[in-house]
Structure 1
Amino acid sequence: MKASFILAGLLVLFSGCAAQDTEIGSFSKHLNSPSPVKVGLIAINDFHGALEPPGRTVSVELDNGTVAEVPAGGAAWLATTIDELRARHPYNLTVAAGDLTSASQLASSLFLDEAAIGVMNRIGLDLTAVGNHEFDRGWQELRRLQNGGCEKLANREPCAVEPDFAGASYEYLAANVRMADGSTVFPGTALRTFGEAPNAVTIGFVGLTLKGTAELVVPGGVAGLTFEDEAETINRATTALDEAGADAIVVLIHQGILTDPKSQPNGCADAAGPLLPILPKLDSRVDVIISGHTHWQYICDWPSGDGSKEFLLTSAGFHGILATDINLSIDPQSGDVLSKSAENIAVRSPAFGDTPIEASLPPVAPRADVKEYVARYVDAAQAFEDRPAGHLSQTLEESDDYERGGALGRLIADAQLAATRENGAQIAFMNPGGVRAPLRPSPDGALTFGQIFRTQPFGNVLVTMTLTGAQIRQVLEEQLADDRDEVQILSPSAGFDFTFDRSRAEGQRIVSLSLMGAPLQPDQTYRVTVSNFLAEGGDGFSGFKLGTDRQIGLSDLEALEAWLKVTPPREAPIQERATEIVGSAHL
C-alpha cells in the first residue's frame, strides 16, 4: 500500500550507497526491489479454556493419500505446536479470533478462566479479538481478565489459585463494541512492524466480535454496550490502518462459516453460514480474515465483493485441536502483499479411549512449563471433577445437527422440568447452543460432576414463568425467523410436541403445538421453565421476556444432577419432539 518512490528519491538513495559498493554493476543491483519480507501468523480460535486434551480428533491427509483421525488438543501440546510453527518464521505473531474463555473445562471455569489466560500468556499470544463468550460473565469481568486483579465481579471468588493474578499479557481488540460514551470497550486495532528500516513492513489488525453478541450472552452482562455492524466496522478500521501506514490488513473476527463435514481442515467445500454475507461487503484492501465462532476448520481464498482480489479466509476449529500457519510475503517498497497461504496443523496429543495413534504422526511433546501450570488448576479442581453425579443408560453425544440439541438437549429439558414442577412448570425448553459436550458414562452408567459440568458449563439458573399459548407459539416462530444468523431449534421437555415447516411464510411456520396430546390454546396460560439466559432474551428469543410471575429455581447443573441420580440409570429420551415437515397445508 506504500506510494512508490519518485526517481529523484531513488538517485539520492543510490548516491548514498555508492561509497559502500564499488563493484561494477552495483547501480543496476540497487535498481532491483528489496527482498520481500516474510511474516508468519500463527492463529487459533475458540479455545474455550480447553486446558487438557479434549478427547477429540482431527482429520489429517497422509502422504499416501489416505486420511487418519489424529488425537488432538491440550494446552501443553498446543504450546509445543505453536513453538514449532514460530520456528519456521523469523518474523511472526500469534493471534486469535475470540472465545478463548468461558464454556470451558472445569479446571478453568471453576476459577473464572484465569487458567486460560495464564496458558495464553505462556504460549505467547500477542493479539485476540473478543468473542461472544468473553462477555458471559459481563464486560467488567472481562476487563479484569485483561488487566488483572482480584475484584469480585462474577459468581465465584477470583484469584483462588493465583493470589497475584496479573491478567492477560496479550491485547484484546473490540472494534465494534462501544460503550455509552462512544468509546470502545477495548482498542479496536493494532499495528505491528517487521523487519529493519527502510525495508520494514507493517501489518494492521482489526479485531471484533459478531454483531449478534448481545443475543448470545446474558443481557445484563452487556448492558450499556452496543455491538456494531461487522462490515462497516472492518471497512472503517481498514481505512484508518491504511492511513497509519499498514501494508497488509488482517481481520480477526469472531464469526465464521460452516463447510461440508467431510471436508478436510484445509478446504471450504460447500461453504455456508453467517460470515458469508459479510465478506462481499469488505474493503478489498483486506488481505487475511482469521475467523471463528462456528467451531469449524477451513482455509480458502474467498473473492472480494468487487472481484479485484481474493481474501485468505481461515479458521482453526476449536478447543486448540488445530493451529493455523499463515505465510505472508510483502514487498517493503510497494507495500503489496505478494503472496499469502495457510495450512491448518493438527495439535497432536496422546491417544484416548480406543482411538489409535497414527504411526507417522506421533504426539508432540507437551511443553513442560504449560503442563505444570495446567496441573496446578486440575489438581485444585479434582474434588469437584470426581464427585459422583448420577447414572445414564447410554452415551449421549452432542447433536451432529448444528441447529438441534438432540437427545441430550431433550434430557436436559426433562431435568429442568422435573426440577421446577414445584413452581408449577408444565413445559421446559433447552437451547442447543447451551449443550457443550457429550455425556459418556462408564460401563456401569456412572457419571461424574466433571462430565455433567462440561455439558452445561455456564452456571445458569432456572426461571419458571407464565406464558400464553400464543406467546409460546411466538417464541417458537422466533427460531425460524428470516433474519436469524443462526437457527436454533429448542428442545422441549417430555409431553410437549411441535411441528414446523420452513417453506411457509415467516410467522406461520409453526404448524402444530400440543401438550400431553392436547393442542395448545392461544388464550390459555402455561408455566414454562428456561434458563435465565433464555429468560432474558438470549439467543434471540425475545418472546421469553414476556413471561410473568417468574420464580427462580435451582441451577441448571443442580437440576441435571438430580435428574440423573436414579437407579437404574436414567433412560435417554430418543424420540423426537420437534418435527420438521415440508409443504404442510395452512391451518
Structure 2
Amino acid sequence: MTRRFLLATCAAAGAVAVAATAQPVAAQPAPTSAVRLLAINDFHGNLEPPTGSSANAVDEDGKTVLAGGAAHLAAHLKRLTDRNTLKVAQGDLIGASPLISAAYHDEPSVEFLGDVGVTASAVGNHEFDEGYKELHRIQWGGCHPKDGCSPAGKWKGAKFTYLAANVLKEKKNKPALKPWTIRYVNGVRVGFIGVVTKTTPSIVTAEGIEGLRFEDEVVSANKAAKELKARGVHAMVLLVHEGDQTPAGQRPDACGTVPGAGTRIAKEADPDIDVVLAGHTHQQYLCSVTDPAGKPRLYSSGSSFGRVITQVDFQVDRRTNDVVRSTLKGDNHVVTRDITDQPTADFVAEWKERVSTIANKPIGRITADLRRTASSAGESALGDVIADAHLEATKGLGAQIAVTNPGGIRTDFDFKPSGGEGEGVVTYGEAFAVQPFSNVTGVTSLTGAQLDELLEQQWTSAGEKILQPSANFRFTIDRSRPVGDRVSAITVNGAPVDPAATYKISANNFLLGGGDGFTTFTKGSGTALGPIDLDALVAYFGAHSPIAPPALDRISGQ
C-alpha cells in the first residue's frame, strides 16, 4: 500500500516518459520547476518533547510511537529539506504553551520556528490569546510592555510572516495582518494565503480581538486569490487554521475525515488554489478533494505539538506559472525521537535553565492525583478544585458561586513526582501547565433564570461542554431530554435558585466574554475583574494544602 498521496500517477509518469523521448541532444530548459513544501501546525510552544498522551503519535504502520520536541522536529526538517523547499505553518504556533515558552511570551518558540526556516504561517486563534497588540509585537519586535525584555534581550520580531486574509480592522475595514505573501523558489513564484477559523470570536477573550472582525474563510481566501492572480501568481497554497475530525488511531497518511468546516473550505475555495493545508483540530490526515472546477487538490493536516511534518511536492509550469496538479504528492511524516538536532537541543536547554527557577518553585501539595477525567455527569476533581479556587479569589468582588470551562484545564496534577520535588508536591510549572492561558477571573451578576439559561448552553451543535462548579453550586442534568431542557434542581448554598433573584457568578474572562458558546454571560451586569486564574490557583494551594480530590457530587444525573 502506498503511503503517499499522488494525483494521476500514471498520467504523470507517461508525460515524463514522452518528454524524455522528445528531448534533443542539446538539453533544453525544463518546462517545469520542482517545489517542496514542509508544513507544521498547532505547535503551541512545545519546545520540549510533549509528555503524557500528547507525546504519542500513530505512525504509518499504525503503531503508537513517541513524537515531537523542537530538537527532533528540527532534525526531521533538515532531513526532508532540499534546495527547492519552502517551510510554512497553519497557526497556533504559540499560545496555550508550556512554561518554557510562555514565561517569555512565546518569544523562544517564535525564534526557533524562524531559525528552522518557517517563512509564512496562517494566524491561529491562540495567536490572539494575549491580544492583537501583543501579536503585532511578536510579528514586528520590541520588548513586552509590562514584563520588559527577556533574558535574550530586545525581541527582534518573527522571521516569518503571519497571514490572516479574513481578519479585518472594523473601523478601517482593512486587513489587520497581511492576507497573502509571495515566495520565490527554483525560478517560480508561489503565493500563500492565510485564514483563521471564523469562530475565533467565540473561543478567545473579547478583549484580545476588540476592534477586529472575522469574516468567512472561503470568501476571504477567494478575494486574496484574485489579488494574487492579478499579480500573475497562479501557484497558490491556502494555509487555514480550521480543519476536521478523524477516527481515533488514524494513520497520518489516511484521509478518513468527518467532513466539517475544513472540508467545506478545501472544496469551495477558489479553483486556482492548488493545495489546502489545515490545522486547528489537532488531527492528522492526507486527503484529495475536488475543487469548484472539478479538479482534485490536496487537503491535509499534521496533528499538533510538532509531532508530524506535512510534505507536499509538485511541479510548476514555467509557461503558465501554475501547479501541474497531476504532479502533486503528499506525505505526513511522524517526528520520531530517534534523530536530534544538537544546536536546537542546546537552544532548548538554555531556555529551560532560564525558566527553571520559576518552574520548580513548590506552591503546595496534593494527597492523590487531581485529574480532568470526568464522571458520567461531566464533573472532574480538578475542575472542582479550580472552580473553588476562582470563587475564593473573587469573594472580595462579591462572588457567590463559580464555574470554569473544561477546555481551559490543559493537563492533570500527578501525585507521583515529575522531577525531584517529592511525592504530592505541586510546582509552579505544573500549575502553569494546568492553567496556561493567563485568563483573568471576574464576577458578573445573573438572575436565577439566566443561570438556568447558562447551564442549558452546555450543549450546542459543536458538542457538549460541562461547566465545572464550585462546591456550593449544584445542579442535575438529563441528557435524554431535548437540548434547552436538560438542567434541573439548581441550588446555591443548598437553597433552590430563585429565577427572579440575582446571583454573582465568578468565571474567567474567556467565559465572561461569551466563549465556548456561553453567550448568557454577556447579559450579566456589574462585571468586575479579579486576579489571573493561575494566580488564583497558586493562592488556593498556598492556603489549603494538602488538597484531596473532592467527591464528584456537585453535578447529578447523566
The residue aligned with 2:35 is 39
1:213-252 paired onto structure 2 within 5 Å: 213-252=200-239
The residue aligned with 2:148 is 158
Going from structure 1 to structure 2, the CA distance change for 1:291 and 1:566 (only over 3 Å counts) comes to same
**2:440 is equivalent to residue 461 of structure 1:** yes
**2:330 is equivalent to residue 337 of structure 1:** no
Greater Rg over alpha carbons, structure? 1
Distance across 2 between alignment mates of 1:576 and 1:329: 61
Distance across 2 between alignment mates of 1:377 and 1:214: 32
The residue aligned with 1:356 is none
Distance across 2 between alignment mates of 1:82 and 1:282: 29
- Tell me the SS of whatever aligns to 2:503: strand
1:487 is displaced (CA, Å) by 5.0
Going from structure 1 to structure 2, the CA distance change for 1:296 and 1:26 (only over 3 Å counts) comes to closer
The residue aligned with 1:416 is 390
The residue aligned with 1:141 is 134
**2:520 is equivalent to residue 520 of structure 1:** no
CA shift digits 1:493-539 (9 cap, x unpaired): 2342241548626x445455344565432112222110122223333
- Is the Cα–Cα contact under 8 Å of residues 49 and 55 in structure 2 kept in the other structure? no
The residue aligned with 1:210 is 197
The residue aligned with 2:105 is 112
The residue aligned with 1:187 is 178
Going from structure 1 to structure 2, the CA distance change for 1:367 and 1:337 (only over 3 Å counts) comes to farther
Going from structure 1 to structure 2, the CA distance change for 1:230 and 1:511 (only over 3 Å counts) comes to farther
- Is the Cα–Cα contact under 8 Å of residues 39 and 88 in structure 2 kept in the other structure? yes
- Tell me the SS of whatever aligns to 1:111: coil
1:424 is displaced (CA, Å) by 4.1
Distance across 2 between alignment mates of 1:550 and 1:320: 39
1:69-468 paired onto structure 2 within 5 Å: 69-86=64-81, 89-150=82-143, 152=145, 156-179=146-169, 180-196=171-187, 201-304=188-291, 306=292, 308-334=294-320, 335=322, 336-349=324-337, 363-368=338-343, 370-396=344-370, 406-442=380-416, 444-468=423-447
- Is the Cα–Cα contact under 8 Å of residues 391 and 566 in structure 1 kept in the other structure? no
Distance across 2 between alignment mates of 1:118 and 1:61: 28
- Is the Cα–Cα contact under 8 Å of residues 478 and 486 in structure 2 kept in the other structure? yes
Distance across 2 between alignment mates of 1:501 and 1:555: 33
1:43 is displaced (CA, Å) by 0.6
- Tell me the SS of whatever aligns to 1:526: strand
1:477-488 paired onto structure 2 within 5 Å: 477-482=456-461, 487-488=464-465
**2:58 is equivalent to residue 49 of structure 1:** no
Give the structure-2-normalised TM-score: 0.85
1:391 is displaced (CA, Å) by 2.3
The residue aligned with 2:540 is 563
Going from structure 1 to structure 2, the CA distance change for 1:162 and 1:57 (only over 3 Å counts) comes to closer
Going from structure 1 to structure 2, the CA distance change for 1:243 and 1:471 (only over 3 Å counts) comes to same
Give the structure-1-normalised TM-score: 0.82
1:538-577 paired onto structure 2 within 5 Å: 538-565=515-542, 569-573=546-550, 575=552, 577=554
**2:80 is equivalent to residue 58 of structure 1:** no
Structure 1: which amino acid aligns with 2:71? A
1:220 is displaced (CA, Å) by 1.9
1:577 is displaced (CA, Å) by 4.8
CA shift digits 1:317-364 (9 cap, x unpaired): 222122112222333345332232322222223xxxxxxxxxxxxx21
- Tell me the SS of whatever aligns to 2:95: coil
Going from structure 1 to structure 2, the CA distance change for 1:406 and 1:241 (only over 3 Å counts) comes to farther
Distance across 2 between alignment mates of 1:167 and 1:120: 12
- Tell me the SS of whatever aligns to 1:53: coil
Q: 1:472 aligns with which of 423, 428, 451?
A: 451
Q: Which ranges in structure 1 are unaligned for 5 or more consecutive residues? A: 1-23, 350-362, 582-587
How many pairs were matched up?
A: 526
The residue aligned with 1:585 is none
- Is the Cα–Cα contact under 8 Å of residues 498 and 513 in structure 1 kept in the other structure? yes
Structure 1: which amino acid aligns with 2:459? L
CA shift digits 1:90-117 (9 cap, x unpaired): 3111001111112111122111111112
- Tell me the SS of whatever aligns to 2:273: coil
Going from structure 1 to structure 2, the CA distance change for 1:561 and 1:340 (only over 3 Å counts) comes to same
- Is the Cα–Cα contact under 8 Å of residues 58 and 249 in structure 2 kept in the other structure? no
Distance across 1 between alignment mates of 2:541 and 2:350: 30
Going from structure 1 to structure 2, the CA distance change for 1:270 and 1:206 (only over 3 Å counts) comes to closer
Going from structure 1 to structure 2, the CA distance change for 1:497 and 1:166 (only over 3 Å counts) comes to same
The residue aligned with 1:7 is none
Going from structure 1 to structure 2, the CA distance change for 1:396 and 1:330 (only over 3 Å counts) comes to farther
CA shift digits 1:271-313 (9 cap, x unpaired): 2544344444323332221111122222222344x47133322
CA shift digits 1:192-243 (9 cap, x unpaired): 23333xxxx4322110111122222222222111111111111222222233
Going from structure 1 to structure 2, the CA distance change for 1:59 and 1:157 (only over 3 Å counts) comes to closer
Distance across 2 between alignment mates of 1:107 and 1:504: 45
Structure 2: which amino acid aligns with 1:59? A
The residue aligned with 1:21 is none
Going from structure 1 to structure 2, the CA distance change for 1:237 and 1:405 (only over 3 Å counts) comes to farther
Distance across 2 between alignment mates of 1:259 and 1:541: 26
CA shift digits 1:114-133 (9 cap, x unpaired): 11121112111100111111
1:404 is displaced (CA, Å) by 6.8
Distance across 1 between alignment mates of 2:398 and 2:133: 36
Identity among equivalent positions (%) equals: 35
- Is the Cα–Cα contact under 8 Å of residues 427 and 496 in structure 1 kept in the other structure? no
Compute the RMSD of aligned alpha carbons.
3.0
- Tell me the SS of whatever aligns to 1:287: strand
- Is the Cα–Cα contact under 8 Å of residues 57 and 307 in structure 2 kept in the other structure? no
Distance across 2 between alignment mates of 1:284 and 1:142: 31
The residue aligned with 2:11 is none
CA shift digits 1:541-566 (9 cap, x unpaired): 33212323444433211222233347
Structure 1: which amino acid aligns with 2:234? D
- Is the Cα–Cα contact under 8 Å of residues 439 and 451 in structure 1 kept in the other structure? yes
Going from structure 1 to structure 2, the CA distance change for 1:157 and 1:378 (only over 3 Å counts) comes to same
More displaced stretch, 161-170 vs 552-561: 552-561
1:44 is displaced (CA, Å) by 0.7
Distance across 1 between alignment mates of 2:301 and 2:257: 15
1:453 is displaced (CA, Å) by 0.2
Structure 2: which amino acid aligns with 1:317? S
CA shift digits 1:145-174 (9 cap, x unpaired): 11112261xxx4132212232111111111
